[in-house]
Structure 1
């Protein structure tokens, strides 16, 4: 009877090891998928940060352009006023 328990234990161990071996490939595949998703998420974040920096640069250039445009318009108004004053005088 003792040998029967030993044989049952060996058979149970055999089935457990077969299950573990077959599940190992599933486990590896899941971890590979998670790793790829993590890399993709990091890449998306890097692209998003690049876009934000690029947009900030564009916004600064537009702001500087608009400021210069206002300065030029102000100068033109001043010249126009001076021109009108000279005509009146």
Structure 2
């Protein structure tokens, strides 16, 4: 049930759009091509099972973890709709 000016299903559409955006963003960050045998950052060997599991991998697990920890993901839209989030 919609309230105010929102159409029926508007909240679900926002949720779906947020999930779809996150999936597309994750896909765009996935490696492509042939996996390297050694990490391009620390030059340690990349395990064969990792290379098979993630085609196109260029980093070992430790370097990938550091990269992900230091990478900030920004969202382009505020879809939460709460007043607190809009004031930030």
TM > 0.5 fold call: no
Greater fraction of residues in helix: 1
- RCO greater where, 1 or 2, for CA within 8 Å and sep 6 or more? 2
The structure whose Rg is larger is 1
